[in-house]
Copies of this chain bind each other. A is one copy, B any other.
Amino acid sequence: MNYITIKDIAKKLNLSVSTISRAFNNKYDIKKETRELILKTAKEMGYRPNPMAKKLVQKRSYNIGIVVPEFINAFFPEVIIGAQEIFFKKGYQVLIMQSNENYENELKNVQALENNMVDGILLSISSQTTNTDYYKDLINSGFPIVLFNRVDNSIESSRVVFNNYKWALFATEHLIDQNYKRIICLKGINSLILSHERVKGFKGAFLKRKIEIDKNQIVEAGINFEDGERAAKKMIDDNNIPDAIFACNDLCAMGAMKIFKKNGYRIPQDIAFVGFTETKFAELIDPPLTSVSQPTFEMGRKAAELLILQIENKGSFTPQTVLLNGQLNIRESSVKN
């Protein structure tokens, strides 16, 4: 749309293009008045620097790639907003890709971003990603990658993760404190580290309180509504009814709640519920669901900062891990009055 270049400004002011260029990058010496004149004229002429030319000569794309497994729950969009906030301020553009929880897509996305010469990538791996060799090679070749939320511990990179252990422990303690006795943990997706950490936190709470725990207290479920429904149905069929449930995921909790309610169980009088990864609906359902909320925007901001740090200090850089804290939002579903 805009064809005014530094050449045009140079011609108009009878200066050289280098002077014009310098006026915009105030790291060089230039007379104050000249500089002001140039800036003023540029504005008048409606000049806008051409980012492509700049990128070409600087051999930097100022593009960042973000690869997430899904885009439908509010979680990742919120992380992305947080990250974008930081990148935008620092002059980076963000290219967002989603893998749809599929490893092939994920790999393609990363490669597409490489082809677009992004300066770095923020990556949250899909639940189906088991082979991370490509990412390891990429990192070893010096390419800046920061993992967030869904990480693989065998990859040596900076990472931003939620303290799943600690908050699962707190959530479980909350149930123990309410004097619930038969507490069940609904486990999330098996392939994700964060699922295991949450289960570990669940166990940790019992350990801390010196209460014995039975392995039947851990039930494989999943992260979807249907997974919770299925798990609840099985408990009812087996006539194995707990008095409290800690679900590793809100949706799963909500599915189980629906089935129990349908079968006449009252919440929390008969069965108490605690969820994890607060969704917007936690407080809207009946009864409102106690859940652990995560600092999504903060996660994005931190990840972005780590990546920029790495990009701008290539070479002298050691991977860092940021562990984020959350909040236990206690609501009716877990409190007998």
Contact = CB atoms under 8 A, between A and B. Distances in A.
B72 A88 contact: no
A115 interface: yes
Given A53-B56, A143-B1, A254-B284, A81 B71 contact: yes
A213 B173 CA distance: 56
A270 B115 CA distance: 60
Given A71-B78, A72-B78, A143-B1, A50 B117 contact: yes
**Prevailing SS type, chain A contact patch:** mixed
A71 B80 contact: yes
Contacts of A115: 48, 51
A114 interface: yes
Contact of A51 (B48, B116, B143): B116
Contact of A95 (B80, B94, B117): B94
Interface in A59-106: 61, 63, 71-74, 77-78, 80-81, 84, 88, 93-98
B72 A61 contact: no
Interface of A: 1-2, 48, 50-53, 55-56, 61, 63, 71-74, 77-78, 80-81, 84, 88, 93-98, 112, 114-117, 141-143, 225, 254-255, 258, 261, 280-281, 284-286
